[in-house]
Chain A
Amino acid sequence: MSDTTIPLIAADGTPLKRKLAQSLMRSRARAFGLALPLLAFILVLFVYPIANFLTQAFYDARFATLMPGTTEVLKDWDAVSAPTEEMAAALVADLVVSKKEKTIGKVATRVNREMSGTRSLFTKTARSAKKLEAPYMEALIKKDKDWSDIEVWQAMKTASRVYTPAYLAAAVDLKMLADGSIVRQDEDRRIHVILFWRTLEISFLVTIFCFILGYPVAYMLSTLPARKSNLLLILVLLPFWTSLLVRTTAWIAMLQAQGVLNDLFVVFGLASDDDRFSLIYNKTGTLIAMTHILLPFMILPLYSVMKTIPPSYVRAAKSMGATNWTAFWRVYFPQSVPGIGAGALLVFILAIGYYITPALVGGQDGQMISNFIDFHMRKSLNWNLAAAMGLVMLVFVLFMFWIYDRIVGIDNMKLG
């Protein structure tokens, strides 16, 4: 029939489709308007600062800004042939300016990161740079013979890159050479990869322990009558309401050599008095304390999922002839998987970023990658390297999410 092709018209004469789109648009705009403050908040105070900070992982314009002439000349140098007089002249000119502007400290710190021991070379040379005369290369070497070392110039060339993979390389124990090639870090300075692996190992173990300890607790909570389970839930949440430091300090009192646990071991003859267990200031301490602290993050999603599994499923399985174990394993457990997924992911990701607890009870082999990010943030002030390590972590966590999505499915995760 012919009228099937004529678009339907709303009462005011506009086509029905457009009218519908308009009305939907309005309600969408309203919904978006409601979410706007939060969106703005997240963008301004969360996404922007983090993104901004993370750019430091590969952006460092300090040397290029403060030593513009040298940077320009170094660009054309192949990093293999002997340093030229032109380079020396540009360097001296820049040093004079930076001494006057009092920026020499920043320059020296930057180059020192590429080559240890060059900081004083720069500060000392800058102090008398004004008096140096052409030929500058000779004058520099006369001032300090280290200037004849081609590695100093190579370090400067590396430092002069504005966009540099050097920090990211350093975050995974690689080293960028002046010619842009990347090699492995010297063996006695490789630390980050070991730490990434250890962080993974600790996070993985903590997740497993939380699961083993948390699953029965969550199951018990979900089967108890509401009044009792609410009371017990408060006990589960208690660690949340205690300051992290208080909890950690309590663990120190519990676990140290002269602590409660070791005293008990000695009393029961499990350890001799002069050979007590090392339960703290090592990996064991980190594992125990982190498992305790992260346990609620496993129990809560498990509990909220288990509470929605009616007891009739297990009963049905048993009525059909399944033993307790079969009923649990084939019927109950698969239905609690979304809770396990959520809990494990939550614990794992929180564990990866943990740092106060390992810092306090971790000793030498219980340290995690975050402790080193903290170290570079607060102590060495190498924020670029901290950002690079943070970026590696972030990429890794996103990768974990991706793996999780592939294996379990992200929409198969239930937090409550």
Chain B
Amino acid sequence: MALDYTNNAFVRFDRVQKSYDGESLVVKDLNLDIPKGEFLTMLGPSGSGKTTCLMMLAGFETATHGEILLDGVSINNIPPHKRGIGMVFQNYALFPHMTVAENLLFPLEVRNMGKSEREAKVKRALDMVEMGDFGGRRPAQLSGGQQQRIALARALVFEPELVLMDEPLGALDKQLREKMQFEITRLAHNLGITVVYVTHDQTEALTMSDRVAVFNDGVIQQIDAPDVLYEQPKNSFVAQFIGENNTLEGVLEDIKDGVALVKLDNGDVIDAKPVNVSAKGDRTRVSIRPERVEFRKDRLKKGAHLLNAEVLEVIYMGDILRTRLNVAGNSEFIVKTRNAPDQTRLNAGEIIEIGWQPEDCRALDA
């Protein structure tokens, strides 16, 4: 689906600030546009302000400053029940004193919908999450995954255009979580709804979202599509937070033709792509993804800088091999290689040379 990032955002945060105590800001000057139909994930460590943003959007918290617009209309003063936003809660918040069907009927009843229409919608919603036979059960009689589906169906049954999800999969085990991740994205795209999804699980964020907004310290650090976020982190927080990452510290020597020359702390010099460093002599932290490190010289470009490395440990993981190296004083340097028939097997104690494409090695703030 082609998303319209240019005109009339469906959801807009306009210079939004939030403070609980009047002394510190939990959300600092947030600007965010979400186009219709997007699956946007707010990702970040706990306390980074992502849930607060979600609650402000839902109407359970008020913005201290700034405006939140929904479909072009300011909703700052609209109470939650008039916003028409569906929501899935962390622990599902299924009403324990009602059956599954009654739970789903609830949003329709408060809208004074006719009986036959209500029942048709409930049936459709239950079928949608493959829970058609469970209408008469109580939430307590369902498993975690089933409760999750019901919560989802309940948030969707009144056909909201915007659905908020607050860590909805946090309580599920790994396998179920992966299955639900897939189902939620499938449903969201089929229905064409806009989803704002909050999680602290980066894998979840990467696999489900159209775009991911990485929060830290009340500020969006980077907002991009998952691949961009992973491959082109804009600062070292994002690089660290998303995926596995090797870092080497040093000083920026020079930038020539878009390539930065970095002198590492042990004296070695490497090439890197300058991202948010510019001045010579700045401390910098270079970041290389483990799977982009190469120790077969035949696969490297000519003239690439090579570094000596000592193999400390090789961990066999089935589909991949994880090799821990000591590189320029960093003994937690990881290299991931595909377990292919032609792959060289390294042994602990070996001294090898490693290298990478300069564009895979990003010089970021220290």
Residues of A within 8 A of B (CB): 310, 312-313, 315-324, 326-327, 330-331, 334-335
Expressed in whole angstroms, the Cα–Cα distance for A310 and B95 within the complex equals 11
Q: List 20 A-B contacts (CB under 8 A).
A: A312-B89, A313-B93, A315-B89, A315-B93, A318-B81, A319-B80, A319-B164, A320-B81, A320-B110, A320-B154, A320-B155, A321-B82, A321-B107, A326-B110, A327-B81, A330-B106, A331-B95, A331-B106, A334-B97, A335-B96
Given A321-B158, A322-B81, A327-B81, residue A316 in contact with residue B93 (CB < 8 A):
yes
- Sample of 12 more A-B contacts, CB < 8 Å, known A312-B91, A319-B164: A315-B60, A317-B95, A318-B59, A319-B86, A320-B81, A320-B86, A320-B106, A320-B110, A321-B82, A324-B79, A326-B110, A330-B106
Residues of B within 8 A of A (CB): 58-60, 79-87, 89-91, 93, 95-97, 106-107, 110-111, 154-155, 158, 164
Residue from B79, B85, B107 having most chain A Cβ neighbours under 10 A: B107
- Interface of chain A, main secondary structure: helix
A322-B110 in contact (CB<8A):
yes
A177 CB → nearest B CB, Å: 55
- By beta carbon, the residue of chain B nearest A320 is B107
Residues in B whose Cβ lies below 8 Å from that of A319 = 58, 80-81, 83, 85-87, 155, 164
- By beta carbon, the residue of chain B nearest A314 is B93
Cross-interface CB contact of B80 among A310, A315, A334, cutoff 8 Å:
A315
A315-B95 in contact (CB<8A):
no
B359 CB → nearest A CB, Å: 45
Expressed in whole angstroms, the Cα–Cα distance for A317 and B97 within the complex equals 13
A-B CB pair tally, cutoff 8 Å: 69
Expressed in whole angstroms, the Cα–Cα distance for A331 and B154 within the complex equals 15
Expressed in whole angstroms, the Cα–Cα distance for A330 and B81 within the complex equals 14
Expressed in whole angstroms, the Cα–Cα distance for A318 and B82 within the complex equals 8
- By beta carbon, the residue of chain B nearest A311 is B60
Residue from A318, A321, A322, A324 having most chain B Cβ neighbours under 10 A: A321
Q: List the 7 closest pairs (A to B, CB-CB), nearest first.
A: A320-B107, A316-B93, A319-B87, A312-B93, A318-B80, A334-B97, A312-B89
Cross-interface CB contact of B89 among A316, A321, A330, A331, cutoff 8 Å:
A316
B106-A322 in contact (CB<8A):
yes
A358 CB → nearest B CB, Å: 38
Expressed in whole angstroms, the Cα–Cα distance for A14 and B90 within the complex equals 52
A309 CB → nearest B CB, Å: 9
A320-B158 in contact (CB<8A):
yes
B121 CB → nearest A CB, Å: 13
B58-A335 in contact (CB<8A):
no
Expressed in whole angstroms, the Cα–Cα distance for A141 and B82 within the complex equals 94
Expressed in whole angstroms, the Cα–Cα distance for A317 and B58 within the complex equals 12
Residues in A whose Cβ lies below 8 Å from that of B89 = 312, 315-316
Expressed in whole angstroms, the Cα–Cα distance for A312 and B154 within the complex equals 14
- By beta carbon, the residue of chain B nearest A315 is B60
Expressed in whole angstroms, the Cα–Cα distance for A318 and B80 within the complex equals 6
A323-B91 in contact (CB<8A):
no
Given A315-B58, A315-B89, residue A323 in contact with residue B81 (CB < 8 A):
yes
Residues in B whose Cβ lies below 8 Å from that of A315 = 58, 60, 80, 87, 89, 93
Expressed in whole angstroms, the Cα–Cα distance for A319 and B81 within the complex equals 5
Expressed in whole angstroms, the Cα–Cα distance for A81 and B159 within the complex equals 90
Residue from B60, B85, B111 having most chain A Cβ neighbours under 10 A: B60
Expressed in whole angstroms, the Cα–Cα distance for A317 and B106 within the complex equals 8
Residues in A whose Cβ lies below 8 Å from that of B158 = 320-321
Expressed in whole angstroms, the Cα–Cα distance for A322 and B106 within the complex equals 8
Expressed in whole angstroms, the Cα–Cα distance for A330 and B106 within the complex equals 9
Given A319-B58, A319-B80, A319-B85, residue A310 in contact with residue B107 (CB < 8 A):
no
Residues in A whose Cβ lies below 8 Å from that of B87 = 315-316, 319-320
Expressed in whole angstroms, the Cα–Cα distance for A50 and B90 within the complex equals 53
Expressed in whole angstroms, the Cα–Cα distance for A321 and B157 within the complex equals 12
A142 CB → nearest B CB, Å: 81
Cross-interface CB contact of B90 among A312, A322, A331, A335, cutoff 8 Å:
A312
Residues in B whose Cβ lies below 8 Å from that of A320 = 81, 86-87, 106-107, 110, 154-155, 158
B91-A335 in contact (CB<8A):
no
Cross-interface CB contact of B95 among A313, A323, A326, cutoff 8 Å:
A313
Expressed in whole angstroms, the Cα–Cα distance for A126 and B286 within the complex equals 118
- By beta carbon, the residue of chain B nearest A319 is B87
Expressed in whole angstroms, the Cα–Cα distance for A316 and B155 within the complex equals 9
Residues in A whose Cβ lies below 8 Å from that of B58 = 315, 319
A310-B93 in contact (CB<8A):
yes
A315 CB → nearest B CB, Å: 5
Expressed in whole angstroms, the Cα–Cα distance for A330 and B107 within the complex equals 12
Residues in B whose Cβ lies below 8 Å from that of A318 = 59-60, 79-81
Expressed in whole angstroms, the Cα–Cα distance for A315 and B158 within the complex equals 16
Expressed in whole angstroms, the Cα–Cα distance for A372 and B250 within the complex equals 92
Expressed in whole angstroms, the Cα–Cα distance for A405 and B106 within the complex equals 29
Residue from B82, B87, B90 having most chain A Cβ neighbours under 10 A: B87
Residue from A315, A320, A330 having most chain B Cβ neighbours under 10 A: A320
A334 CB → nearest B CB, Å: 5
Expressed in whole angstroms, the Cα–Cα distance for A326 and B95 within the complex equals 13
Residues in A whose Cβ lies below 8 Å from that of B154 = 316, 320
- By beta carbon, the residue of chain B nearest A327 is B81
Expressed in whole angstroms, the Cα–Cα distance for A322 and B109 within the complex equals 9
Residues in B whose Cβ lies below 8 Å from that of A312 = 89-91, 93
Expressed in whole angstroms, the Cα–Cα distance for A126 and B111 within the complex equals 88
- By beta carbon, the residue of chain B nearest A335 is B97
A335 CB → nearest B CB, Å: 6
Residues in A whose Cβ lies below 8 Å from that of B155 = 319-320
